[in-house]
Amino acid sequence: MVVDPILTVRDAHKHFGGVAALRGAGLTLYPGEIHGLLGENGAGKSTLLTTVAGVHRLDSGEIMFAGRPFEQGSTRRAREQGVAVIYQEPALFPDLTIAENVFVGRQPTRRGRVDWAGMRARTRELFARLGVYLDPDRRAAGLSIADQQLVEIVKALSTDATVIVMDEPTAALSATEAARLQSVARRLRDRGAAVVFVSHRLDEAFELCDRVTVLRDGATVAEAEIAATSPAEVVRWMVGRELTDLFPKVPSVPGEVLLDVAALTRQGVFEDVTFSVRRGEIVALAGLVGSGRSEVVRAVFGIDRYDSGSVRVGDAPLPPGDPRAALARRVALVPEDRRAQGLFMPASVARNVSVVVLDRLRRFGLVRPGAERAMARGWGERLRLRYSGADQPVERLSGGNQQKVVLAKWLATEPELLVIDEPTRGIDVGTKAEVHRMLSQRAAEGLAVLMVSSELLEVLGMADRILVMREGRLVAELSREEATQELVMLAATGQEVSA
């Protein structure tokens, strides 16, 4: 390679309290490449990247940027040096307009005054470059996650950065949006920028990236041209062992109908949704982001109300808008947004796991802390949780491990019907396989599973039946046998399926 690297990180070390997030991580980036950063949950990817973004300072190690030492510890300086970041989760300002979100902190000015018209025009122009349209004057509050991600992308584009960091940008996106993002990444590369791309979807990484760096336990274990390696090898690097059988589906015989949803309608969100789930069956709800899948399952569980229709569990109707009633009928919902909806961030692992099963942990009306911790440890073991103890606050866990705590919490209720929204979002391959194995095992034992997923492979690999939603309506039902990627995508994007 004749080009000089634009960014090199050498021997990076970083501790959070007692946790070593990085111990000897390295990364070399060249202009004009898309560089995959891969690793298990908690491997240190986000930590490494947020350091480059100026959020943290390394304990030790060296960062060189364009041949000069990189000034750490200031997000502003990082940006001025030419780094733009799309964070793992979008960080918009709900009360500001989209235009201002794009330019916040560096609004174009004229004679010291914010140039509102200019800002609007430039925003429009940037969106046009992406081939999408969002009203620059609209406030960011209420944007769908995909739209939020688009704003983040435009924000990163607007700085003309030489290094663009994308930390799991596609985790919240469905295939179409992800594809659009990938084309943006390629265009940036062709413009000469270096793009760092984090994803737990290996297929995506292999499709998009030119080179990959693999982190394990905070250290860089491999760096390779994508052409010179294979997914199997990367997985081996990531987990340090061989992984077989990515979707370990255990065959099961569906029993009687457990969940029966009839003509469920909520004005403007979803309409006339009818389906059922049997015991022992895994039913997947597929569709594009924004097609209303989450809203349907939230309504089923009672978080949201619906305008008409009915939900029955077993023989009896489930009262609307009452999650407690759903819980009592052994229905569980693993929500899609783990940080906001699934977890109490400052609380310990034990408290997070126990919160839905307190009734079982009580004696004489008082909660038994010992039993609570023991239960949490049990689940920690079963899900291979990486944590320092049942009393560790979940905010100190990595994204994937947090997701495991959410799973543990809901599995602890011993549900008969498990509704699970994006079960493996942000989870690494190893854990993903564990989650899949557990789901399908439980299903074989008679658990009914209703799964919302934007990951086609997961949907195809796990589900006995696939329901496809588009614009708030169920548009297709496919059996495991007949379903293919193409059929699901066709249904999700609007072509009627004739099969």
Partner 1 sequence: MIRGVLARVTWDKIVPVLLLLTLVIGMQLEPRFGRGSTFAFIVQDIGEIMIIAFAMTLVIMTGEIDLSVASTAALASCVLGWAFERGIPIWIAVLLALVTGVLCGAVNGLLVTAFGLPSLAVTIGTLALFRGLCWALLGDEPVASYPESWTRLGSGRFPHTYIPYVAPLLIAGAIGYTVLLHATRTGRWIVAIGQSPEAATFAGIPVARVKLWLFVHCGLLSAVAGVVYTMRFASSRPDAAIGFELLVIAAVLFGGVSIFGGVGTMWGVISAVLFLGALRSLLLLQKVPPNALNIINGALLLASVVVPAVIAAIPRRRRRSSDPGVSQGHPTSNLPSLTS
Partner 2 sequence: MTGRLLASREAPVALALVVVVVGTTLVNPRFLSAQGRTDLMVAIAITALMAVGQTFVILMKHVDLSVGSTLGLSAYLAATAVQDQQDGGVLTVLMVGLVVGVAVGVVNGALVAFLRLPALVVTLGTLYVVKGIQAVVVGPRRINADQLPGAVVDFGRDSVLGVPYILWLALLAGVAGAWFLRTVRTGRDLYAVGSNGPAARLVGIPVWRREMFAFVVSGATAGLAGALYLARFGGVDANAGSGYELPVVAACVVGGVAITGGVGTVIGALLGAALLKTIGVSLSALSVPEFWQQAVNGALLLLAIAVDKVIADRRLRQTTEVQEVPA
Ligand X SMILES: Nc1ncnc2c1ncn2[C@@H]1O[C@H](COP(=O)(O)OP(=O)(O)OP(=O)(O)O)[C@@H](O)[C@H]1O
Q: Which residues bind Mg ion (CB under 5 A)?
A: 46, 88, 294, 336, 399
Name the binder of 405 from ligand X, partner 2, partner 1, none, CB < 5-8 A by kind. Answer: none
Q: What is the 3-state secondary structure (H, E, C) of 263-307?
A: EEEECCCEEEEEEEEECCCEEEEEECCCCCHHHHHHHHHCCCCCC
Identify which of residues 199 and 229 has a Cβ nearer to partner 1 in the complex: 199
Give 463's contacts (C-beta < 8 A, 6+ positions apart).
Answer: 282, 283, 284, 451, 480, 483
From the list 34-42, 64-72, 92-100, 410-418, the region that binds ligand X by CB under 6 A is 34-42
Site stretch for partner 2 (CB under 8 A), options 25-33, 111-119, 342-350, 368-376? 111-119
Footprint on residues 171-230 left by partner 1 (CB under 8 A)? none
Contact letters for partner 2, residues 58-87 (x by CB under 8 A): ----------------xxxxxx-----x-x
**Closer to partner 1 at the Cβ: 351 or 373?**
351
Question: Minimum distance from CB of 104 to partner 1 (Å)?
Answer: 13
Cβ of residue 317: shortest distance to partner 1, in angstroms?
A: 18
Residue closer to partner 2 by CB (options 272, 471) is 471
Taking the least distance from each CB to partner 1, the nearer of 98 and 226 is 98
User: Which listed residue (91, 263, 328, 499) binds partner 2 by CB under 8 A?
Assistant: 91
Burial degree of 112 (CB within 10 A; 0-12, 13-18, 19+):
exposed
Q: Of 196 and 468, which has the nearer Cβ to partner 1?
A: 196
Number of residues that bind partner 2 (CB under 8 A): 40
Q: Which of residues 428-467 bind ligand X (CB under 6 A)?
A: 428, 452, 454
Nearer to Mg ion, 5 or 323 (CB): 323
Residue 54 binds to partner 2 (criterion: CB under 8 A): yes
Minimum separation from the CB atom of position 482 to partner 2 (A): 30
Provide the mask over 139-168, with x wherever binding to ligand X is found by CB under 6 A and - wherever it is not.
---x-xx-----------------------
Pick out residues in 277-336 that bind partner 1 (CB under 8 A). 303, 323-324, 326-327, 333, 335
CB of 39 to ligand X, least distance (A): 5
Nearer to partner 1, 234 or 376 (CB): 376
- Shortest Å, Cβ 498 to ligand X: 24
Summarize as ranges the residues that interact with partner 1 (CB under 8 A).
14-15, 17, 21, 46-47, 50, 55-59, 73-75, 87-92, 94-95, 140-143, 145, 148, 303, 323-324, 326-327, 333, 335, 337, 339-347, 351, 354-356, 358-359, 362, 365-367, 395-396, 399, 409
Q: Which residues bind partner 2 (CB under 8 A)?
A: 53-55, 74-79, 85, 87, 91-96, 100, 104-107, 109, 112-114, 131-135, 138-139, 141-144, 146-147, 150
Contacts with ligand X, residue ranges (CB under 6 A): 16-17, 19, 21, 39, 41-47, 88, 142, 144-145, 174, 269, 287, 289-295, 336, 396-400, 426, 428, 452, 454
